[in-house]
A = this chain, B = another copy of it.
Amino acid sequence: MTEKTKGLRPAGGQPDKRRAILTGALALFARDGYTRASLDGIAAEAGVSSRTIYNHFRDKAQLFEAVIQESSGRVADTQIAIIDRHLSKIVDLEADLVEFGTAWVAVMDSAAAPHFALVRQIHAELEHIPQTAVDAWRETGPRRVRGELAERLGRIADRGSLRIPDPDRAAVHLMLLVSNDNLPYGADRRNEKELTAMVTAGVHTFLHGYRP
């Protein structure tokens, strides 16, 4: 509303409105969850009439699934970029892994923080989301990222720097260790120093667990 519309508009609603809706819906779904988040709240957050949402999405459920898909794809791209940037050319394996882990937790805690709050909502709502949507999300999100990371680790193992019997499992282990999976086991909120200490310790454990 506060901005002027510019450019052509394809069929099915204006794309900037759609993007605004998706962004606002991500924010509210992430914070409040599917049931608690209201369409009026989403509309307000997006700066859009609540009636417009029904111009772009069939109902609340489909909006939720669209938000999941959109956010998952975007974040997966970001994570894969981090993987490519830090794990393509290896010079010092431990140092490169630490830098990878640092970038990993940084993006999880800042830019992609709403997305991972949404992921917690998804995990809580799993019984109420149609299986097809869950499968689609897993495929375009975590599975794709895990596959990319597993491939990189496998390539490093081929060069002899690691011994990895199961690349998928190694990828999961590395992600778990460097991110502490969002403090589930009673950890406090971390400052900068504790954060790098966590990443370093995780990389250390991973490295000695998979080093030949």
Q: Could you give, for residues 103-127 of chain A, a 1 whenever the CB lies within 8 Å of some chain B CB and a 0 otherwise?
A: 0000000000000000111011101
What secondary structure prevails in chain A residues at the interface with B?
helix
- In the assembly, what is the distance between CA of A25 and CA of B182, in Å? 26
Q: Which of A28-36, A39-47, A151-159 contacts B (4 or more CB under 8 A)?
A: A28-36
Task: Tell me whether A172 and B185 are in contact in the complex, defined as CB-CB below 8 angstroms, given that A124-B124, A209-B204 are known contacts.
Answer: yes
Residue of B nearest to A172 (CB): B185
A:190-212 near B, CB below 8 Å: 198, 201-202, 204-211
Measured CA separation A92–B138 after assembly (Å): 38
Scan residues 127-170 of chain A and give those whose CB is less than 8 A from a CB of chain B.
127-128, 138, 141-143, 145-146, 165-166, 169
Q: Residues on A close to B: CB < 8 A?
A: 31-33, 35-36, 119-121, 123-125, 127-128, 138, 141-143, 145-146, 165-166, 169, 171-173, 175-177, 180-182, 184-187, 198, 201-202, 204-211
